[in-house]
Amino acid sequence: MESYKTLEIVRKNPDSSVFHLILNRPAHLNALSLDFFVEFPKALSSLDQNPDVSVIIISGAGKHFCSGIDLSSLSSIKAQSSSGNSDRGRSSELLRRKIKSMQAAITAVELCRKPVIAAIHGACIGGGVDLVTACDIRYCSEDAFFSIKEVDLAIVADLGTLQRLPSIVGYANAMEYSLTARRFSGGEAKELGLVSRVFGSKSDLDNGVTMIAEGIAAKSPLAVTGTKAVLLRSREVSVEQGLDYVATWNSAMLISDDLNEAVSAQMKKRKPRFAKL
């Protein structure tokens, strides 16, 4: 398995199809460096294409999930966009391409066919919020706290929070947290709907999320990946268009060995056994 500077891929149980993708810069509070934006989509793609993987859990090593973008990376981006180029237009075009590349790294979570679950402890700030809002399900521990910090750095958040958060917590809440940059707790995140459950400790979070992921991994991979794809598509279209999309999807995917196996298992009162995807 490929090694990374900013990430670690772990399969805690050799018999499990749940894999852990860990932000692995604990000495830097898992701040997102430029290397991260190169490595993260590659790591996700490798997991997506691996038939042994059914569910991916994203977590952070050390005391915090993610402290946001690495400030040295911001300085580097600024320097790169202006270095050796006196043309403001060309410098701006280069900076736009860099931002789009970083956006694509976060959007890779949604492009991944497999469900991606965020397990958040400690700080989840700035770019960390961009990352978790792209995830399919989010859980946190009681010590977790969140902040959409970009406005305090004189930045308009540009990696997805402003686009994804309103549909998760509501427009008014997204506006307040984005403009004030105020810190809010895991309990408040649960009330908002940003996370689905708050666990008592990091250990409880790890064990609880793994159990949930194992439950999803035991289901038909065609049904699981299809459900993710249809839900993501339905965010952007009308109900009528969404229904048409899922009708077309199921006309291609419904009649499968997974369906036969699920029905057989129900009738015989046994656990189903699905082929890898």
Under 8 Å between Cβ of 32 and 70: yes
Catalytic residue among 9, 57, 69, 106: 69
Instruction: State how far Cα 247 lies from the chain centre.
Output: 27
Based on its alpha-carbon atoms, the radius of gyration of the chain, rounded to whole angstroms, reads 20
Q: Active site includes 69?
A: yes
Catalytic residue among 60, 122, 126, 127: 127
Catalytic residue among 8, 110, 158, 176: 158
> Which amino acid, one-letter code, is at 231?
L
Catalytic residue among 39, 70, 150, 206: 150
Nearest-angstrom CA–CA distance, 211 and 207:
6
Q: Active site includes 215?
A: no
Distance set, CA 186 to CA 113, 172, 246 (Å): 28, 19, 34
Q: Active site includes 158?
A: yes
What is the b/e burial string over 63-83, where b = at least 16 CB atoms within 10 angstroms of the residue's CB?
Answer: ebbbbbbbeebeeebeeebee
* Number of CB atoms found within 10 A of residue 125's CB: 23
Catalytic residue among 39, 130, 143, 206: 130
> Which residues does the annotation mark as catalytic?
69, 127, 130, 150, 158
